[in-house]
Amino acid sequence: MGKAAELFLGILTAMGGFVEIGELTFTLDGGAHFGYQLLWVTALGTLGIMVYCEMAGRVAAVKRRPVFSLIRERNGFTAALATLLAANIVNLLTCTAEIGGVALIWQLMSGWPYRALLVAAMAFFLLVVWFMPFEWIERVFGLGGLLMIVFIAAVWTMGPDWGEMAAGFVPRPPQVQGPRDGLLYAYFAVALMSSIMLPYETYFYASGGIEDDWKPSDISLNRFVVIVGFGLGALLSVALVAIGAEFFGPHRIEPQLPGTAALAAAAQFGKLGLFIALLGMFFAFAGAAIETALSGAYNLAQFAGWPWGKYKKPREAGRFSLTWIAAFVVGTLVVMSGIDPVKVVEYSIVFSVVVLPFTYFPVLMVANDRRIMGEHANGLLAKVLGWFFLVAITVTALAAIPLFILTHGGRG
């Protein structure tokens, strides 16, 4: 497999960020409500996450510096502590939701009781992360998540309105019914942007690059992995918007349950389509659960200067290992209390947007710094894009919570 196998880090990161349980329901719901009008946000968010993951991956390859150690070094202790707390609450909420999502998928496939499946999901994650090397986690869950391509195939066979879809990529005033609907559109735009640029993707991606022992010579590989991995994730997002617009919108279905998404594949390809869609969703949700649990452990270890990494034996990175174990156990206990995983993730998406500027600012500062990065520092294009997206996410962060309140969490 060689270097090509590195692609799975990008695919796993993108799957865990783009098509986890929150974004799956969110994107479908956005498509059902507003048709293709939000596609430009998907494109913008994808470019943003590509720009920042490329930068974080480059810093990791050149200096072996993970994101949270940069956050503490550049933002100072107190601001970094606040970012750590917020980032790890988001990680835990998302991990909780994904564990619930995996149990829901298993329930749809087996009909077994949900709570028993939650315990089984926890055991599954603990065993997988304990026994499986990092590169195999990347490969299995990255490759498995590719089954989600069934949604792209479903859109293709639906014969969508390609002209309307293409027009959706151009930002323009939304066609909405009244000011409340306008606010709802703004809320969906902000939440979609946030869910695509989720901060844990950057933490996981840069730490994963260090786990995979990237070196300065891997900079072009990093660029390739980001473009292909995240491009694929974005293509899936576009397909989900299209399914919302072409399948659920006209039938007046609000696809707020993760399993609903599989109906679109079932309608096109029958039982086989349903099975592939559910299996793809299982791998994507499970990948996101692992990504968020490990991200929480990476963040804490990098903030506190503990030994970290899946490439180390658990006994060589004791507190790091204990942190990801705790994330799975606490996440399972939270979701067993009866909380709806989709609600959990809605809160985590809105909450995470506030963390974004604090995460991306230090990455940009270090990647810009020639004293640290030498010839691999940001060029003009990376600088311009970096500042543009920093301003964009700051505006998004300021708008997120007022919009969440005004729209009653997207319920209009």
Partner 1 sequence: MTSPRRIDLLRDVLDHEIVDADGIACGMVDDIEFVATPNGPAVAALLVGPGAWLTRVPSLVAVIGEWLFGRSRVSVPWEHVVDISEVIRLDAKAADLRLGRLDAKVGRWLAKLPMS
Contact 410, 184 (CB under 8 A): yes
Q: How far is the CB of 77 from partner 1 (least distance, A)?
A: 5
Q: How far is the CB of 378 from partner 1 (least distance, A)?
A: 18
Span from 12-20, 23-31, 211-219, 310-318 in contact with partner 1 (CB under 8 A):
310-318
> Could you tell me the maximum CA-CA distance found in the chain, to the nearest angstrom?
59
Structure tokens at 141: 């869950």
Closest to 26 measured CA to CA, from 157, 155, 267, 17: 17
Span from 71-79, 92-100, 178-186, 231-239 in contact with partner 1 (CB under 8 A):
71-79
Instruction: Determine, following the binding rule CB under 8 A, whether residue 216 of this chain makes contact with partner 1.
Output: no
Q: 338-360: b or e for each residue (b if 16 or more CB lie within 10 Å)?
A: eeebbebbbbbbbbbbbbbbbbb
Contact 350, 194 (CB under 8 A): yes
Instruction: Determine, following the binding rule CB under 8 A, whether residue 377 of this chain makes contact with partner 1.
Output: no
From residue 15 to residue 44, the character string flagging contacts with partner 1 as x (rule: CB under 8 A) and all else as - is ------------------------------
> How many Cα atoms sit within 13 Å of 125 on the Cβ side?
34
Q: How far is the CB of 65 from partner 1 (least distance, A)?
A: 6
Residues that bind partner 1 (rule: CB under 8 A) add up to a total of 30
Which residue among 146, 304, 365, 401 contacts partner 1 (CB under 8 A)?
A: 304
Extract long-range pairs of 112-118: CB within 8 Å, 24+ residues apart.
Answer: 115/336, 118/332, 118/335, 118/336
Which residue among 43, 47, 64, 158 contacts partner 1 (CB under 8 A)?
A: 64
Span from 117-125, 184-192, 312-320, 340-348 in contact with partner 1 (CB under 8 A):
312-320
Span from 204-212, 287-295, 299-307, 389-397 in contact with partner 1 (CB under 8 A):
299-307
Instruction: Determine, following the binding rule CB under 8 A, whether residue 130 of this chain makes contact with partner 1.
Output: yes
Instruction: Determine, following the binding rule CB under 8 A, whether residue 215 of this chain makes contact with partner 1.
Output: no
Instruction: Determine, following the binding rule CB under 8 A, whether residue 316 of this chain makes contact with partner 1.
Output: yes
Q: 46: which DSSP letter?
A: H
Between 322 and 384, CB nearer to partner 1: 322
Span from 64-72, 193-201, 206-214, 401-409 in contact with partner 1 (CB under 8 A):
64-72
Structure tokens at 156: 């293709």
Between 50 and 364, CB nearer to partner 1: 364
First to last CA, the chain: 49
Structure tokens at 249: 């919108």
Touching partner 1, residues 75-104 (CB under 8 A): 76-78, 80-81
Which residue among 33, 58, 65, 139 contacts partner 1 (CB under 8 A)?
A: 65
Which residue among 33, 72, 139, 310 contacts partner 1 (CB under 8 A)?
A: 72
Instruction: State which H helix or E strand residue 301 sits in.
Output: helix 261-304
Contact 74, 365 (CB under 8 A): yes
Q: How far is the CB of 390 from partner 1 (least distance, A)?
A: 21
Q: How far is the CB of 302 from partner 1 (least distance, A)?
A: 8
Instruction: Determine, following the binding rule CB under 8 A, whether residue 58 of this chain makes contact with partner 1.
Output: no
Count of Cβ atoms closer than 10 Å to residue 325 Cβ: 17
> What SS3 state is found at 255?
coil
Instruction: Kindly give the interhelix angle for 261-304 and 199-211, rounded to the nearest 10 degrees.
Output: 70
Which residue among 318, 374, 402, 412 contacts partner 1 (CB under 8 A)?
A: 318
| Cα 30 from Cα 27, distance rounded (Å) | 5
Instruction: Kindly give the interhelix angle for 77-110 and 21-34, rounded to the nearest 10 degrees.
Output: 80
Instruction: Determine, following the binding rule CB under 8 A, whether residue 313 of this chain makes contact with partner 1.
Output: yes
Between 161 and 369, CB nearer to partner 1: 369
Span from 33-41, 155-163, 289-297, 301-309 in contact with partner 1 (CB under 8 A):
301-309
Count of Cβ atoms closer than 10 Å to residue 100 Cβ: 30
Binding region for partner 1 (CB under 8 A):
63-65, 69, 72-73, 76-78, 80-81, 130-131, 301, 303-308, 313-319, 321-322, 372
